């Protein structure tokens, strides 16, 4: 590759120089700004490593040890080029994966205790397992694949629950929910796309039904995406809709391009509810769109994220329900947004 990113990663008292070779060159940010992004990611990973529990899990502010927080933290390390079994964060990643595998229940579901949004946790954890499968040492890969295949079946069965025409094809909080929303649906589609990439059986008919639901969430005249059909657009949901369509093969559809134009007119703001969720989906969605849409979005998100990183490397959890999720969630999501152009995670590939 023509360019590389040199990241200094502290592990205990040691300092290891990692020279990473991204899948594409960093053509969008100038070198000084890219160096600031690299340094911010390093500090964030140091924070996440310090916050890992003795069990191998990571916590949320409201639910304690969390399948979702653990999966997001693991993906944050992988998004920066770290993999299971080797490197300075190998132990942290391996312990996190082992803890997560032990949390899968008899039905195949990954979820946190006392949470009403089981499918949020499940979709995020399924996505992580699909992303990590190809990076897992052979001795562990069979366990990961078995857990992943069971998790995929849960998602497909949840989609097949009887629903009316407005909700058909999507997902909501529980495996038995008979309604749908774009937010939960986004995570399930990312998980299914990643699982299909590593050889899991994901029927095209299920993807087609999900795409139809996402398109029903597009606001009239392709003016962004809504939480549910017939409601109003927001930047956060628009990022979700764009990414969902792009990763399902609906490249540059009228709905996605209308949403991309909407985001240029009304970009995500730090004060917005679910900002960190939006930074991930808007960043990755606009990266898939490419061109001016990606360049303007990246500059905007990088400026916000770098301006709001804390001295300890974390990001403070956002407004409303995001505040309940805590710093592990917000920091992991910030890294996943900042690291999009590295393209280390398979789901980031164009």
- Whether 45 is covered by a domain: the verdict is no
- Domain-embedded: residue 238: yes
For the chain, the average pLDDT equals 91
Report the half-sphere exposure of 53 (CA within 13 A, side-chain side): 18
Q: Considering the domain boundaries, does residue 26 fall inside one?
A: no
- Using left for φ > 0, alpha for ψ between -120 and 50, and beta otherwise, residue 71 falls in alpha
Cα 196 to its chain centre, rounded Å, is: 17
* 14 pLDDT more than 80: no
Q: Is residue 321 part of a domain?
A: no
pLDDT over 70 (residue 274): yes
Cα gap 244→159, rounded to integer Å: 15
Contact 60, 66 (CB under 8 A): yes
Residues 252-281 have a mean pLDDT of 97
φ, ψ at 102 (rounded to 5°): -75, -10
| DSSP class of 222 | G
Which residue segment(s) compose the domain that 224 sits in? Answer: 217-308
Residues 140-168, buried b or exposed e (16+ Cβ, 10 A)? bbeebbebbebbbebbeebbebebeeebb
Answer for the pair 282, 235: CB distance below 8 angstroms, yes or no.
Answer: yes
- 264, pLDDT greater than 60: yes
Q: Would you state the pLDDT for residue 10?
A: 30
Identify whether 229 is part of a domain: yes
Residue 265 lies in a domain: yes
Q: Compute the average pLDDT of residues 44-59.
A: 98
- Measuring CA to CA, which residue among 306, 318, 328 is closest to residue 49? 328
How much of the chain, in percent, has pLDDT values that exceed 90? 84
The Cα–Cα gap between 330 and 323 comes to 9
Does the pLDDT at position 279 exceed 80?
A: yes
Query: Which pLDDT score, from 0 to 100, does residue 18 have?
Result: 34
CA–CA gap between residue 331 and residue 294 (Å, rounded): 22
Indicate whether 5 pLDDT > 60: no
The predicted pLDDT at position 27 comes to 54
Mean of pLDDT values over 134-156: 94
- Per the domain annotation, does 264 fall within a domain? yes
The yes-or-no verdict on residue 36 having pLDDT over 50 is: yes
Closest residue by Cα to residue 82 from 39, 37, 45, 40: 45
Instruction: Compute the average pLDDT of residues 233-237.
Output: 97
> What domain count does the chain have?
1
pLDDT digits (tens, 9 = 90+) for 166-213: 999 999 999 999 999 999 999 999 999 999 999 999 999 999 999 999
255 domain-assigned: yes
Given a cut of 90, whether residue 281 has pLDDT beyond it is yes
pLDDT at 93 over 50: yes
């Amino acid at each position: 590759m023509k360019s590389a990113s040199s990241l200094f990663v502290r592990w205990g008292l040691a300092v290891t120089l990692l020279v990473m070779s991204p899948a594409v060159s960093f053509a969008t940010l100038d070198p000084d700004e890219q160096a600031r992004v690299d340094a911010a990611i390093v500090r964030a990973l140091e924070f996440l490593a310090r916050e890992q529990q003795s069990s191998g899990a990571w916590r949320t502010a409201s639910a304690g040890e969390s399948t979702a927080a653990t999966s997001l933290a693991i993906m944050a390390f992988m998004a920066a080029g770290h993999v299971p079994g080797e490197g300075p964060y190998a132990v942290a990643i391996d312990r996190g994966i082992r803890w997560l595998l032990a949390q899968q229940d008899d039905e195949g579901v990954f979820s946190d205790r006392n949470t009403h949004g089981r499918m949020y946790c499940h979709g995020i954890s399924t996505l992580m397992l699909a992303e990590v499968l190809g990076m897992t040492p052979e001795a562990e890969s069979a366990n990961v694949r078995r857990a992943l295949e069971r998790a995929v079946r849960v998602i497909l069965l949840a989609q097949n629950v009887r629903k009316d025409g407005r909700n058909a094809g999507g997902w909501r909080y529980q495996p038995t929910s008979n309604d749908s929303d774009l937010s939960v649906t986004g995570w399930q589609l990312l998980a299914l796309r990643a699982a299909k990439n590593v050889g899991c059986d994901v029927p095209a008919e299920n993807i087609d039904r999900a795409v139809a639901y996402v398109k029903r969430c597009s606001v009239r005249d392709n003016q962004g995406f809504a939480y549910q059909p017939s409601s109003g657009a927001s930047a956060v949901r628009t990022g979700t809709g764009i990414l969902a369509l792009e990763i399902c093969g609906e490249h540059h559809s009228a709905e996605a391009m209308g949403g991309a134009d909407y985001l240029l007119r009304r970009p995500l703001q730090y004060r917005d509810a679910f900002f960190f969720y939006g930074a991930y989906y808007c960043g990755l969605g606009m990266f898939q769109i490419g061109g001016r849409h990606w360049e303007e979005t990246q500059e905007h998100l990088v400026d916000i994220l770098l301006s709001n990183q804390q001295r300890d490397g974390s990001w403070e959890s956002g407004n409303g329900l995001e505040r309940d999720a805590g710093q592990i969630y917000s920091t992991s999501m910030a890294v996943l947004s900042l690291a999009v152009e590295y393209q280390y995670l398979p789901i980031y590939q164009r």
